[in-house]
Amino acid sequence: MRIVVLISTVAIVLGGLLLSRAPIQRNDCATETATFGAGCFWGVEAAFRQVKGVTDTTVGYMGGTLKNPTYEQVSTHRTGYSEVCQVTYDPAQVSYEKLVDVFFRIHNPTFFNSSGDDIASQYRSVIFFQNAEQENIAIAVRDRLQASGKFSRPIATAIVPALEFKPAEEYHQRYAEKHHLASCLITP
């Protein structure tokens, strides 16, 4: 049984890649997980929710040491956590490589601890890989982009093993969608 839920009718153009009206689909297929940090997790989540083949997204924290971090604690820049979006996807509909391509299109990966107006360690550019295949793909995409000359500075994105994912508070989930925001320039 397949249930399709239309989340947004907004089209997003990411560096020439049009992602339009891609509904989040919930189905019984085997899914995989990808985790990305690219600045404010609201905007990262909003972008990935538009990708056909993405079945779910959850914003949260990864990479730190506290048992149950809160947004306020992560915002102190002393926990080691990154704001991330955990993406659940159907690999029969979208490849991990395409998700990594989207990741590199939605932020400037040449700045390690910032994305746009967001400048702090929790906003670092990071791919948390789940297995060796994801690691190899992420490195290959990064290296291909670096060699392309698209960026005038070296790509600073960290590609590191996934750690325990800590979901953010409920009010952060689908924040941009709930508040009709195109970006995350507004803070709660």
Could you give the residue numbers annotated as active site? 40
Distance separating alpha carbons of residues 52 and 123, to the nearest angstrom: 25
Are the C-beta atoms of 62 and 163 separated by less than 8 Å? yes
Distance separating alpha carbons of residues 15 and 69, to the nearest angstrom: 34
Distances (CA, A) of 52 to 18, 81, 131, 170, 176: 11, 28, 23, 24, 18
Q: What is the DSSP annotation of 8-46? A: ---EEEETTEEEES--EEE-SS--EEEEEEESSHHHHHH
Q: Which residues on neighbouring strands pair with residue 57, listed in sequence order?
A: 87
Q: Which residues on neighbouring strands pair with residue 83, listed in sequence order?
A: 61
